[in-house]
Chain A
Amino acid sequence: MNCERFDNLLEASLTDPLGPVDQAEFDAHLSACPACVVTLQHYVITTQALQALGALESVEETPALPERLVQKILAGRAAATQVRRGTKTA
């Protein structure tokens, strides 16, 4: 099995566990290819880092909205409200 096949199996494992034949092929390649061992380790680290990033983002402070954007949003609500009222009276 080559590294491209390993990559395909790694992708396949995202939704379902590998079947016994594929898993054996996957494991055999890992035992023979140090580069793919590193790839897999880093892949796992990347996924863990993404999850950690999510936790960080959920508590990060965010600056106030620019006032012009606030006014634009509120103007959009006013315009939508007028349209609805206009439709009702039409």
Chain B
Amino acid sequence: MGTSLVSPASNQRRSGPVKSAPGAAPAAAPVGVRSAVPDSETDLIRRLQAGEEAAFAELVRTYGPRMLAAARRFLPREADAADVLQDAFLSVFRGVGGFEGGSRLSTWLHRVTVNAALMRIRARSRRPEVQAEESLLFQSTRRRASEPPTAADALGRGEILDCVRSGLTQLPEEIRAVVRLRDIEGMELREISGLLGVCCSTVKTRLHRGRMALRGLLEARFGALE
């Protein structure tokens, strides 16, 4: 009986997967972690649903920074991330009237942002310069993988995370999206397939290539990982 070699991400960072199709504001009452909602959040939602202008400005200033950070993780270029943020907020403004508080506001906003980023990724055609970046990345990791790793001292966890974070930005965006959705957001491959509009086998291939590329970068930088 075969065993799963790499355990799937069981500790989902976000409460619940991003279920909505790109382009649509997520369902008004997404299921999430049952936790006490701060009064300030409940009050903000009430004010938003009442159409209070100051509430919208507060929403943007309070939650916008984290949403922008999430957008950047899928689309590192600042202009792209800013566009995603604007798209996300337009979806939020349209959908907040139906938000029923089934999850934390921050969770819902995060899902909207990820959806907006995925929409951009789906819509973009692969440009020649992206293909060139990909070939450089994968060529370099293949060469290094054939060289025996050298012994290395024990590494601080932070160094490895920094390398992985940097490596993610070097991946082609459609591969980076899959790696982030699976290994960081904790989504199932079928859900990713639906969001990106590609078949499961394509998702699996992209995930594997992304992981192997990152593995190669870690190996090239640190040698044998203890």
Contact = CB atoms under 8 A, between A and B. Distances in A.
Interface of A: 7, 10-20, 22-23, 26, 35, 38-47, 49-58, 60, 62-65, 69-70, 72-74, 76-77, 80-81
Interface string B55-66: 011001100111
24 contacts: A13-B2, A14-B208, A15-B200, A15-B204, A16-B2, A17-B4, A18-B3, A42-B219, A43-B212, A46-B215, A49-B160, A49-B164, A49-B214, A50-B184, A51-B183, A53-B165, A53-B168, A54-B13, A62-B69, A70-B60, A73-B86, A77-B90, A77-B93, A80-B94
A45 B226 CA distance: 9
B6 A43 contact: yes
**Which bucket holds chain B's interface residue count?**
35 or more
Most buried by B among A20, A22, A73: A73
Contacts of B66: 62
A53 B2 contact: no
B40 interface: no
Interface of B: 1-6, 9, 11, 13, 56-57, 60-61, 64-66, 68-69, 73, 82, 85-86, 89-90, 93-94, 145-146, 148-149, 157, 160-161, 164-165, 168, 179, 183-186, 189, 200, 204-205, 207-208, 211-212, 214-215, 218-219, 224-225
Main secondary structure of the interface of B (DSSP, over half): helix
A12 B204 CA distance: 8
Those 3 A-B pairs whose CB atoms lie nearest each other, nearest first: A18-B2, A17-B2, A54-B184
A80 B25 CA distance: 15
